[in-house]
Chain A
């Protein structure tokens, strides 16, 4: 990917929101114990 020859240097401080997931993770499916009776 070409972003251009002339490049300026920065230090970006993320906000707290920057590092939060945008969408919540899907719920984990409930696991049945392997030895549970059918």
Chain B
């Protein structure tokens, strides 16, 4: 019998949950950071377009390997503890300066995964809940949530409860 590979990823059962923000573009959820990537209802799969310089020019950083990879920043991201607030959601935590059409929510992730002190990045993810913040058009949030099959919550406690649940 051989020893387990010490470099092999640890196997866990059950999707992780965390918090993130999306931009609402029409009825779609898109990424916020330097990407217009549109999330797919039912579950999105991460891809990587990172490049590295070679003698033959720019090449994919990890061709043929799924995202996320250790020496890359790819993957679908979420945070464990997004806030420390009293009655408001701190968009600044996420680096969002323009709050219009930006929605905070709970996301579930699975597949290949990297876990850090503040959050995680995974191969697959899907929205679980969206927070209908007072400044947002409530009907718009409902419409987007319906497209993605996720809940709409009205409060911090609603998001916290869902984030703590295993699906």
Contact = CB atoms under 8 A, between A and B. Distances in A.
Interface residues of B, number: 47
A6 B114 CA distance: 9
Contact of A14 (B14, B112, B128, B129): B14
A22 B10 contact: no
A4 B39 CA distance: 24
Of all A-B residue pairs in the complex, the 5 with the closest CB atoms, nearest first, are: A21-B149, A4-B116, A4-B117, A3-B116, A3-B119
Contacts, number: 115
B140 interface: no
Contact of B79 (A1, A20, A25): A1
Interface of B: 9-16, 20, 33, 42-43, 70, 77-79, 94-95, 108-122, 124, 126, 128-129, 145-151, 162, 166-167
